[in-house]
Structure 1
Amino acid sequence: MDQNNMLEVRDLHVSFQTYNGEVQAVRGVTFDVKKGETVAIVGESGCGKSVTSQSLMRLIPQPPGQIKSGEIWFDGKDLTQVAEKDMEKIRGKDIAMIFQDPMTSLNPTMTVGKQIMEGLIKHQNMGKDQARERALEMLRLVGIPSPESRIHQYPHQFSGGMRQRAMIAIALACAPKLLIADEPTTALDVTIQAQILELMNDLKEKLETSIILITHDLGVVADVADRVVVMYAGKVIETGTVEEIFYRPRHPYTWGLMGSMPRLDLEQEKELTPILGTPPDLLSPPKGCPFAARCKHAMKVCQQEMPETTEVDSETHKVNCWLEHPMAPAVEPPAEVVGGGSK
C-alpha cells in the first residue's frame, strides 16, 4: 500500500442474490484516496456508487449481498479480511459515514444528543459529561440552533435539514481518518449546504481527514473535490482531477453528464441534453463497454469487448473508452462541454 494513500480499492466485485439471479452491482472497481484528499464518485442512480461506499465499511447485508472478490486497503489492513468485531472498532472511529436518508439512519428511540455521545463514549473513552460537551460543540458546528435544548430532542422533532445536520455531527464527532459522505447536502438549503461543505473542508485541512463524496450535484463536486471518479453500470469508466474531468472529459458518458447539467457561466441559455436510453440490466451485464447501447459514437468493438484503461493528458487522468485507441475515428466532445462550458 502506498504510504501517501489513506485508502486503496483494488478490483472490487460486489453482487446481490435475488429471485431472478445474481445482480452484479459493482464490477471490478479500482481507485485510491490520498491523505487529506476529497474524491468525488459521480454517476447516475444505480451505477454502484452507494454499494461501493457501503462495501468499504462492510455494511452490505450478507446475504443477499456479497463481496465476491477484491481488496480494500485502509491503514495497512485489507478490510475484506478483517473480523467483524475488529470492523466495529473501525466504524465510527476511523471511518465514518454520512448516510443519504437521515430519517431511516437515525434511531427514533434515542435523543439526538445520546446518538452523538454514543460513539464518543465507545471509541474515545469519554465520560458522559465530557461526551455531552463534545456533542453540544458538534451541534453548534453543524449550525443547529439552541443546541442546549435540541440535544434532548428526538429525530422526529427535527426538520429534514436538521436531521441531516445531526447525521453529519454524529459522523464528524470522533474526527475520523476517512469520511464517506453519501449525498450529504441533499435535504439542505443552499446556505446550510455551503456551511456543511465549508465544515467538511475545514476538517480535511485541520485533521488531514480524507473524504469520499458521493453525489449527483456536479456543482458540489467542482466546489470541494480534488479528484473525480465517474462510475457507470458498476464500473469506473473515467478518473481524473476536477480540472481534467470538467475541462477535458474524454468518455462520452462524462460528456453526457456535463451536457445534462444546467450552467450559469454561458452567455446564452442552452437546452439541457438528456442521456437517452437506460442503463444495462446488471443481472446479465454486457461483455463490452456498458455505455455502448446509449453511445452515438459506439463501434462494433464496443459491443464485444470492454476497453482497457488508457492514460490521457497525465498519469492522473484515465479513461476506459475505445475512442482512445489509435485506430479509432477522431471524435470531439460537444462544444458546450469542452473548457467547462466556456466555448
Structure 2
Amino acid sequence: MKKMLEVKNLEISFDTFAGKVQAIRNVSFDLKKGETLAIVGESGSGKSVTTRSLMKLLASNANVENGEILFDGQNILEKSEGEMRKLRGSKISMIFQDPMTSLDPTMPIGKQVAEPLMIHHQASKKEAYKKALELLEMVGLPNAKDRFKNYPHQFSGGQRQRIVIAIALICNPEVLIADEPTTALDVTIQAQILELLKDLQKKVKTSIVFITHDLGVVANIADRVAVMYAGKIVEIGTAEEIFYNPRHPYTWGLLGSMPSIESSASRLYAIPGTPPDLLQPPKGDAFYPRNEFALKIDAEQQPPYFEVSKTHKAATWLLAPQAPEVTPPEEIQKRWKKFEELKRAKEVKDNE
C-alpha cells in the first residue's frame, strides 16, 4: 500500500528563557493511503508539535534538529514558505481543536468554505460556492442552503466543527490532520463528529492523522495507534493490538484510566507522578520514575523497540528476553485474554 507520509528520525527543540526544550525526540512513523493513524498521549507528550511539523506550522522558536518528513517523495522541511502555502489546504489539510478560533468571525461561512477552492484550484466563484454547499450538506450542517450566508457566531460548537471539516476537505486533500477535533464538544456531538470523519473517509479516501489524549475516542476510528510519551513514540500497532494486547506500561496506564462499562473497579486508575522535564531529558527510559514495573536498566539506558508482531512494536525493557515476567493490572490481563479470543476467532474464520 502506498505511503502518503513518512516521518524519519524527527527531532525538534524549542528555545525558551529556561533553555532548550527537547520536545520531539527521534520520532518515526508512516501513514498509508486511506488509513487513519491515531497519535495518543498525555498533554505535553509532543502530539501536536509532531503533527504541526507535517504542515511546517511550527513556532518561530522551534528548531528542527534532525529528520525528514517525506510527502510525495519530497522533504517538507526543505520547502519554502511559498511552496508550503500551495501545499497547505490543497494536499494536506488540518482540523484544529477549537473551531471558533479557526473561523473568521467577519466572513459568512459559505465564503470561508469556498475560498480554498478558488485559491488553490482557481475555481470560479459560482463553481466554488456550489461545491461548498454540497460539502456543507455532506458534513450534515442543518439547513445548509438557508444558512450559507450566516456568520460563525450563529452556529453551535458542533455545527462550527462541521464547517471547519468542510473547509479542510473542500480541495480533496490527500492527508487530513485532525488535532483533537472533538475535545471542546460534548459527548453526543463528539460521537457524531467521529462518525462523520469515518463516513467521509470512505467517500473521499483521505488518509487521516488523528491526535487525541483520549484512547477511548479512537477505539472505533483508528486503523493504527501510536502512543507518545515525553516526545517519543513508545508503542505503535494496529488499533486491535494497542487496545487488546498493549505491551508498554504507559499504554497500560492510559487504558487503565479509561472508564469502562465492563470494569469492576470502584475507582479509575491514575498514572502516578508527572512527565519529565524535557529541558534535561532523562538518561534512561523517560517513563521510569512513574513505572511500577521499572527495571534497574530503565534508569540507565533508553530501551530500543522490541517487535511484538510485524505490525506492533514497543520500547520497553520488559520485552527484552532476559526481563522477568510481570503481572500487569487486572484490566490489562482481561484485555490480553480478549486478544487471544479475537485471534482464535480470526484463525477459525480464515480457515473456513
Interval of TM-score (by shorter of Structure 1 and Structure 2)? over 0.9
Partner of 1:4: 2
Give the drift of 1:216.
2.3
Given the alignment, which residue of 39, 42, 45 partners 1:44?
A: 42
Give the drift of 1:189.
4.0
Matched pairs, number? 338
* Contact 1:43/1:231 (<8 A) preserved: yes
Given the alignment, which residue of 19, 22, 29 partners 2:20?
A: 22
Distance 1:45 1:309 in 2: 23
Give the drift of 1:270.
4.1
| Structure 2 counterpart SS, 1:8 | strand
Q: 1:77 and 1:93, CA in 2 relative to 1: closer, same or farther beyond 3 A?
A: same
Give the drift of 1:128.
0.7
Q: 1:197 and 1:307, CA in 2 relative to 1: closer, same or farther beyond 3 A?
A: same
Give the drift of 1:192.
3.7
Q: Deviations over 1:259-292 (max 9, x none)?
A: 00001134x4542100010000111111211100
Distance 2:139 2:184 in 1: 14
Q: Deviations over 1:310-335 (max 9, x none)?
A: 101x1111000011112211113222
Question: Are residues 1:227 and 2:227 paired?
Answer: no
Question: Are residues 1:315 and 2:313 paired?
Answer: no
Runs of 5+ unmatched residues, structure 2? 339-352
Distance 2:124 2:187 in 1: 36
Question: Which piece of structure 1 moves more, 20-29 or 200-209?
Answer: 200-209
Distance 1:297 1:198 in 2: 37
Distance 1:149 1:81 in 2: 44
| Structure 2 counterpart SS, 1:197 | helix
Give the drift of 1:342.
6.9
Q: 1:338 and 1:33, CA in 2 relative to 1: closer, same or farther beyond 3 A?
A: farther
Distance 2:79 2:334 in 1: 44
Partner of 1:279: 275
Distance 2:213 2:139 in 1: 22
| Structure 1 counterpart SS, 2:134 | helix
* Contact 2:225/2:239 (<8 A) preserved: yes
State the TM-score, normalized to the length of structure 2. 0.91
Question: Are residues 1:332 and 2:330 paired?
Answer: no
Q: Deviations over 1:127-147 (max 9, x none)?
A: 111111111122222222222
Distance 2:294 2:166 in 1: 46
Question: Are residues 1:73 and 2:70 paired?
Answer: yes
State the TM-score, normalized to the length of structure 1. 0.94
Give the drift of 1:341.
8.0
Q: What amino acid maps onto 2:275 in structure 1? A: P
Give the drift of 1:175.
1.4
Distance 1:43 1:273 in 2: 16
Q: CA RMSD in A?
A: 1.7
Question: Which piece of structure 1 moves more, 161-170 or 233-242?
Answer: 161-170
Distance 1:338 1:174 in 2: 45
Give the drift of 1:339.
4.3
Q: Deviations over 1:139-160 (max 9, x none)?
A: 2222222222322222222222
| Structure 2 counterpart SS, 1:14 | strand
Partner of 1:248: 245
